[in-house]
Amino acid sequence: MPRYRITIEYDGTPFVGWQIQAEGRSIQGRLTEALFRLTGETVSVRGAGRTDAGVHARGQVAHFDLTRAWEPFKVREALNFHLKPDPIVVLDAAVAAPDFDARFSATGRGYLYRILARKAPPALDRNRVWWVPRPLDPKAMAEAAALVIGRHDFTTFRAAACQAASPVKTLDRLDVSVAGEEIRIEAAARSFLHHQVRSLAGSLKHVGEGRWTPTDMKAALDARDRSRCGALAPSRGLYLMDVVYGAL
């Protein structure tokens, strides 16, 4: 029974998230339907990250097993045909090792959060950025971001419903950069807590507005108290950019 690995890009706007739920359309559900149309099999599709409703991906990875071998090129092309007109595209398909697991074999994940800081609202990127109608201070945001990099108890920046066994994570990267009127927050770690990146982005916005100082960001982290978190950034600005496998 061959195992396949696929890399997927999607606009999360019309979906309830990656995972199949009792109501609503999901990315995982649409891939399952497309595979059924190709193979006649009900296939379990497992992703590297369970993105929330409205979250986008440029490099989500998933795996599944089929009862007979298919050419990877045909798998990719057939899935893209059957996924139309939904904003989901399979960028690549390959045969994977039998023990490959999209989630548990991953050694790193990278996320991007986009904030559009300008008076005029977005038109083309309406559901793809967090619009903040005022200037932000990226230098202060970068200073605050540097204070939370490393291995910490991230309880403050963790969703109340997070199912992770421990709030302790190692944040390898949290960079703040400017691209025109857009502020970009890039985060990398082996794994993340539920809502961790959105919680960090919302708190960094407080710093950018001058409501918090960089040391307030560190104090919030050290408090290990969810009530000390800044506003939860909306899902529409978040992208799963890539998933890393092998040595970091």
Report how far residue 108's alpha carbon sits from residue 186's, in angstroms, rounded to the nearest whole number: 13
Cα torsion angle, 155, 50, 202, 234, sign: negative
Produce one character per residue of 188-215: b if its CB has 16 or more CB atoms within 10 Å, e if not. bbebbbbbbbbbbbbbbbbbbbeebebe
Catalytic residue, candidates 11, 52, 99, 222: 52
Burial class (CB in 10 A: 0-12, 13-18, 19+), 171: buried
Report how far residue 204's alpha carbon sits from residue 202's, in angstroms, rounded to the nearest whole number: 5
Q: Does the active-site annotation cover 52?
A: yes
Give catalytic residue positions.
Answer: 52
